[in-house]
Each structure stands twice: as structure tokens, then as C-alpha cells.
């Protein structure tokens, strides 16, 4: 038996024993990540676990830490590119648990990390609460949105988040106030290995008609990108200060540029789409081409907005 194969077999046995004995949620093995990302790209994950509650997640993280197994956290998979070799270790999928929302007095709410943003926007609207309308078109989960300080149309998660509940890398529970998250453009700072379980949020009282009007306006402004007929991961690059990445890419003449099955969208230049059979290597090659061309022609360095994980 090859040494590498032996290690894989022992790891599989340890995974199986843990999940049989302690885990309440669903568990999948050798899962194509292409089935769990909006890009429809990505090799297999060794294990995908769907924790149902804090106890499940606490045990799972502590187990992974004690065995030295890698783990990655997955929300809706909408801002993610998984490399073609897949993901070693455990992918923690937060989309089937952590969907609880507790509405409190004074416009406050405690929201599970697995709640989808458009659903939360609608719940807030129905209560006459404002502050999250900008997220009406963002398809991700609350946990992922906090991690990247998601935003649009001048709003961002930092505007409404007061703090977050987390499970730490050894399985311990904790609370991190907003002041320690150091929110910045498309970024929050969390302790290494910490997983967001819930967000404590505060909204403003607003006029229901005004809230509906802003939501309708933002939906209308999003029509061009939401009509893209190919799988994608949303905006690929961050907007440089004072500039719009999509316009820079368009100015560089890159709309329709291709690498394998990946293509710069004709409708929105900051979207790279899976035009058919794209691999992660195609997307990465196209991202590199776009960055090089924008820098050489306009002197501006574009920074990726999407997260890239896995092995080649």
C-alpha cells in the first residue's frame, strides 16, 4: 500500500467514526464543489458537513483541530472559486442550519449565518425597518456577507452589524463586537479559524413605502448583471478607490475576452462567466490577463474580490 493512500484511508476512517458517533447533520463524501458554487466550477471536497446547530459545529471544529484536518466554511458559494483539484479536509456548509432570526425591540435582530440576505431584507421591510435595502440583490448568506463586509449602492454590512457570535478554532463560543471587527472595504477581520454563527444587527425605523421604493430602484439598477445567462460568482475584482472596476475592464477592451470556457461578460465587464465547461484554471488565467491588461493600459492594479480555495 502506498503511504499516501494509507493516510487517506486512516483519515476516512476517523471522519466516518466521528460523524457516525456524534454528528446530527448531513454528511457527504467526495462531493463535487461544482454542485455547491454559483460558478459551477470546482473539484471534489473530501468531506462536506452540514452542522445543524452550535453543538454540531462546536464538535466538528474541535474534531478537525484535534486531528489536524483542514476545514473551509461555505455559505451560498456565490463569491467563491474552487480550484480543479478540489478541497482537502472538511467543507463546513452553513446553508442548512443557522437559519434562525430573532427580532428584538428597538430595531434589533439576531440573525443566523445561514439566512439568505434577500430573505432578511424582505423580513426587515415587512417590519418597517431600513438599512439593508442595498442587499436586496446580493444572493449570499449573512455569515459570508459579514466576512467580506458585502455592500452595494453606498451601503455595506458594517452599517447594520453590531457584533457577531462565533465558534473558535478549538470549538469555543465567543462574541466579537463591531469595534473589534475592523470593517473596511469588502473585509472584516476575524480571529484565524473563527466561524460566524450569528450576527447581531440594528436597523432604523423607516417608511415602508420608501423602503419598497429603494428596493425596487436597486433591483432595476441590477437588471443588466442579473440577466447574465451564464454561471458566475458576481463581481470578480474590487473597485479601486474612486473608480469602477467594470468600467476599467471595459476601457481596456476586454469584454468578451476568453480563456477556455471562461469569458469576460459582454453585459458586465467585472463578471467572468462560465460560458460552458470552464475550469478554475481558465478563470484564473483570465483574471491574470485582465489584471495585466488593465495595469498596462491604465496603470491601475485590480484586486480580486472573490475567494479562491483548493488545490490545482
pLDDT tens by residue, 168-220: 988 899 999 999 999 999 999 999 889 999 999 999 999 889 999 999 999 88
Residue with cell 449573512: 142
76 with 20, same domain: the answer is yes
216 with 270, same domain: the answer is no
pLDDT, tens digit (0-9, with 9 covering 90-100), for 237-268: 999 999 999 999 999 999 999 999 999 999 99
Residue 298 has pLDDT above 70, yes or no: yes
End-to-end CA distance of the chain: 25
Distance CA 210, CA 212 (A): 5
Residue where one domain finishes, among candidates 93, 115, 140: 93
The catalytic residues are 186, 235, 305
The stretch 20-49 carries a mean pLDDT of: 91
174 with 270, same domain: the answer is no
163 with 181, same domain: the answer is yes
Residue 221 has pLDDT above 90, yes or no: no
- Residue 3 — pLDDT band, cuts 50, 70, 90? very low
111 with 211, same domain: the answer is yes
For residue 20, the SS3 value is helix
29 with 134, same domain: the answer is no
Answer for the pair 93, 36: CB distance below 8 angstroms, yes or no.
yes
Q: What pLDDT sits at residue 18?
A: 62
Nearest 10 degrees: Cα torsion 188, 191, 193, 198:
-60
Q: What is the domain range of residue 247?
A: 229-309
Residue where one domain finishes, among candidates 61, 93, 125: 93
Query: What CATH number is given to the structural domain containing 37?
Result: 3.30.43.10
- Residue 8 — pLDDT band, cuts 50, 70, 90? low
8 with 82, same domain: the answer is yes
123 with 205, same domain: the answer is yes
For residue 285, the SS3 value is helix
pLDDT, tens digit (0-9, with 9 covering 90-100), for 94-144: 988 999 999 999 999 999 999 999 999 999 999 999 999 999 999 899 999
The three state secondary structure string of 38-101 is CCCCCCEEEEEEECCCHHHHHHHHHHHHHHCCCEEEECCCCCEEECCCEEEEEEEECCCCCCCE
Q: What pLDDT sits at residue 7?
A: 44
Residue 223 has pLDDT above 90, yes or no: no
295 with 274, same domain: the answer is yes
179 with 253, same domain: the answer is no
* E-only strand ranges, the chain: 26-32, 44-50, 71-74, 80-82, 87-93, 101-103, 108-112, 129-130, 151-152, 155-156, 161-167, 173-177, 195-202, 204-205, 232-235, 258-259, 262-264, 271-274, 307-309
- Residue 11 — pLDDT band, cuts 50, 70, 90? low
Q: What pLDDT sits at residue 312?
A: 92
For residue 158, give Cα distances in angstroms to 43, 149, 208: 33, 6, 22
Residue 5 has pLDDT above 60, yes or no: no
Residue where one domain finishes, among candidates 93, 116, 143: 93
Amino acid at each position: 500500500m502506498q503511504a499516501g493512500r494509507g493516510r487517506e484511508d486512516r483519515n476516512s476512517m476517523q471522519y466516518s467514526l466521528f460523524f457516525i458517533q456524534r454528528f446530527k447533520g448531513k454528511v457527504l463524501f467526495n462531493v463535487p464543489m461544482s454542485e455547491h458554487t454559483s460558478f459551477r466550477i470546482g473539484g471534489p471536497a473530501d468531506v462536506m458537513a452540514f452542522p445543524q446547530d452550535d453543538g454540531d459545529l462546536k464538535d466538528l471544529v474541535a474534531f478537525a483541530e484535534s486531528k489536524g484536518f483542514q476545514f473551509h466554511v461555505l455559505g451560498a458559494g456565490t463569491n467563491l472559486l474552487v480550484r480543479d483539484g478540489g478541497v482537502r479536509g472538511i467543507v463546513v456548509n452553513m446553508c442548512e442550519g443557522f437559519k434562525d432570526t430573532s427580532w428584538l425591540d428597538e430595531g434589533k435582530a439576531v440573525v443566523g449565518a445561514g439566512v439568505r440576505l434577500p430573505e432578511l431584507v424582505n423580513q426587515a421591510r415587512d417590519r418597517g425597518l431600513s438599512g439593508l435595502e442595498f442587499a436586496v440583490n446580493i444572493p449570499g448568506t449573512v455569515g459570508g456577507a459579514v466576512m467580506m463586509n458585502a455592500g452595494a449602492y453606498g451601503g455595506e454590512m458594517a452599517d447594520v452589524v453590531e457584533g457577531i457570535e462565533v465558534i473558535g478554532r478549538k470549538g469555543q463560543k465567543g462574541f466579537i463586537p463591531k469595534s473589534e471587527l475592523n470593517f473596511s472595504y469588502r473585509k472584516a477581520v476575524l480571529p484565524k479559524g473563527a466561524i460566524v454563527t450569528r450576527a447581531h444587527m440594528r436597523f432604523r425605523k423607516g417608511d415602508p413605502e420608501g423602503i419598497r421604493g429603494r428596493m425596487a430602484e436597486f433591483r432595476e439598477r441590477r437588471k443588466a448583471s442579473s440577466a447574465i445567462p451564464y454561471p458566475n460568482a458576481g463581481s470578480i475584482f474590487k473597485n479601486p478607490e474612486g473608480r469602477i472596476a467594470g468600467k476599467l475592464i471595459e476601457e481596456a477592451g476586454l469584454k468578451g475576452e476568453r480563456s477556455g470556457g471562461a469569458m469576460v461578460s459582454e453585459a458586465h465587464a467585472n463578471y467572468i462567466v462560465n460560458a460552458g465547461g470552464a475550469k478554475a484554471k481558465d478563470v484564473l488565467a483570465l483574471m491574470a490577463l485582465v489584471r495585466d491588461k488593465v495595469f498596462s493600459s491604465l496603470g491601475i492594479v485590480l484586486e480580486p474580490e472573490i475567494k479562491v480555495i483548493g488545490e490545482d
